[in-house]
């Protein structure tokens, strides 16, 4: 029988997700609504060094801001995942990326089970891929988006179909076996045939992980603004309609399932054992720290983010100041909304009773009509979106969060 120890033992360390934002791109894609852009390459080196400094000195930097949890409890956190995203982080010197990985190992010693780099196909060479492997990256997320050159060109992507194959070959030769490919459903010029061709090409490559996003048309991108204004630039007249895009997504759901991919989040599929450990932390609201301009962090209660302008960010870190831009302590209502919105993105759904207990709410009146309309269902005590109705998930979220 286990006896309670009379000695004080150190508290177990929580698996921390670490994110690094690299906001640099070679060109701005017409559909992009991220806080990224084209910057002179002279900035890359000083930016990478600022990120390294921010990681290593985070406790000191946070001290001046009153972010006490991270300042006092950071030693309890062991990095479990690192995700360097953007932007196009594969533009950076591999040696600078290696120094970032090492900084995370030094600041948050831990298992670092998953170390992901986002890369655009045209930026990948065998030499770089080997250097990334040597630096400790064990997963590459490749922004393929489409295998159709006309679609890629229409939205301003720099790579072409041939670059995707060359990238996959270089990464495989360097020893990467955990690759994730992104596709976008709803691009200008996309048709049922071209979508099927992209899906076929992707499944032939059989990556461990696949993300499929529906094109978002909002005020945050040139394509979105043009479309909302009824204009004709950026390929707006060649956009497939909503029904066609939804059909593309549903077709992907069927075909990926047939090929053994587990659909575990609205936009994400993985072969068994290959789910993204890092992204799961976001959907489960586990703690993560973000470094770099515009990066977001969360400790379970408070969300905070860094300055967005890369030069402002670099200047702050260089001057020994925290680059904090915004912080917000979530109240109970906001936390509940996040539990629903993020939790229901996962196909396994949410433990409804746990959430009702935790937030002292009864959600039955909200959930019942959605269940009667076949949009959500209870399975083994968990509430989830009905898998065949995922294309109307935004309607469910609007009604649940109203």
Nearer to ligand SF4, 149 or 262 (CB): 149
Query: Would you state the structure tokens that stand for residue 230, as one six-digit string?
Result: 């009824």
Query: Which residues between 188 and 247 bind ligand SF4 (CB under 6 A)?
Result: none
Nearer to ligand SF4, 36 or 276 (CB): 36
Query: Which residues between 115 and 144 bind ligand SF4 (CB under 6 A)?
Result: 120, 143
Compose the 8-27 pattern: x for residues touching ligand SF4 by CB under 6 A, - for all others: -----------------x--
State the Rg of the chain over Cα: 22
Nearer to ligand SF4, 32 or 352 (CB): 32
Residue 184 sits at the vertex; the CA angle it makes with 178 and 190, to the nearest 5 degrees, is 135
Among 13, 14, 34, 280, binds ligand SF4 (CB under 6 A): 34
How many CB atoms are closer than 10 A to CB 378?
12
As measured in angstroms, the least distance from the Cβ of 392 to ligand SF4 is: 26
39 interacts with ligand SF4 by CB under 6 A: no
As measured in angstroms, the least distance from the Cβ of 25 to ligand SF4 is: 3
Nearer to ligand SF4, 171 or 322 (CB): 171
Positive or negative, the CA dihedral 237, 241, 244, 249 is: positive
Fill in the DSSP letter of residue 346: B
165 interacts with ligand SF4 by CB under 6 A: no
CA distance linking residue 168 with residue 171, whole number of Å: 5
Site of tokens 């076996």: 177
Site of tokens 């932007």: 87
CA atoms within 13 A on the CB side of 118: 20
SS3 385: strand
Binding residues with ligand SF4: total (CB under 6 A) = 11
36 interacts with ligand SF4 by CB under 6 A: yes
Compose the 76-115 pattern: x for residues touching ligand SF4 by CB under 6 A, - for all others: ----------xxx---------------------------
Nearer to ligand SF4, 116 or 346 (CB): 116
CB 83 within 8 A of CB 116: yes
Task: Tell me how many helices (H) and strands (E) the chain has.
Answer: 16, 15
Q: What is the distance, to the nearest Å, from the Cα of residue 14 to the centroid of all Cα atoms in its chain?
A: 21
Nearer to ligand SF4, 222 or 275 (CB): 222
CA distance linking residue 298 with residue 286, whole number of Å: 8
180 interacts with ligand SF4 by CB under 6 A: no
28 interacts with ligand SF4 by CB under 6 A: yes
Binding site for ligand SF4 (CB under 6 A): 25, 28-29, 32, 34, 36, 86-88, 120, 143
């Amino acid at each position: 029988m286990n006896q309670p120890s009379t000695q004080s033992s150190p508290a177990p360390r929580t698996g921390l997700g670490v994110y690094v934002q690299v906001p640099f791109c070679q060109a701005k894609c017409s559909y992009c609504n991220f806080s990224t852009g084209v910057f002179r390459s002279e900035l890359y080196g000083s930016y990478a060094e600022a990120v390294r400094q921010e990681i290593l000195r985070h406790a000191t930097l946070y001290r001046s801001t009153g972010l006490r949890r991270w300042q006092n409890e950071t030693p309890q956190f062991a990095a479990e995942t690192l995700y360097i995203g953007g932007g196009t982080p594969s533009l950076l010197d591999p040696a600078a990326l290696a120094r970032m990985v090492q900084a995370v190992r030094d600041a948050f010693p831990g298992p670092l089970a998953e170390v992901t780099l986002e890369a655009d196909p045209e930026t990948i060479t065998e030499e770089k891929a080997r250097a990334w492997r040597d630096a400790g990256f064990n997963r590459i997320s490749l922004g393929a988006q489409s295998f159709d050159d006309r679609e890629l060109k229409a939205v301003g992507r720099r790579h072409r179909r041939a670059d995707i194959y060359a990238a996959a070959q270089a990464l495989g030769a360097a020893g990467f076996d955990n690759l994730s490919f992104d596709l976008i459903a709803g691009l200008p010029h996309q048709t049922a045939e071209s979508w099927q061709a992209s899906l076929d090409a992707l499944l032939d490559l059989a990556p461990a992980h696949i993300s499929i996003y529906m094109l978002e048309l909002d005020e945050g991108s040139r394509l979105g603004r043009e479309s909302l204004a009824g204009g004709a630039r950026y390929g707006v007249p060649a956009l497939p309609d909503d029904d066609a895009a939804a059909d593309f997504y549903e077709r992907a759901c069927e075909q990926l399932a047939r090929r053994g991919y587990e659909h575990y989040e609205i936009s994400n599929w993985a072969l068994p054992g290959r789910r993204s450990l890092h992204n799961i932390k976001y959907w489960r609201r586990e703690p993560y720290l973000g470094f770099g301009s515009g990066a977001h962090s969360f400790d379970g209660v408070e969300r905070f983010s860094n300055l967005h302008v890369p030069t402002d960010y670099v200047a702050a870190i260089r001057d020994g100041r925290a680059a904090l831009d915004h912080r917000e302590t979530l109240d109970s209502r906001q936390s509940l909304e996040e539990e629903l919105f993020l939790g229901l993105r996962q196909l396994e759904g949410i433990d409804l009773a746990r959430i009702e207990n935790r937030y002292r709410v009864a959600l039955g009146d909200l959930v019942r009509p959605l269940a009667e309309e076949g949009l959500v269902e209870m399975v083994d005590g968990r509430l989830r979106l009905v898998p065949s109705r995922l294309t109307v998930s935004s309607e469910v979220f609007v009604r649940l969060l109203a």
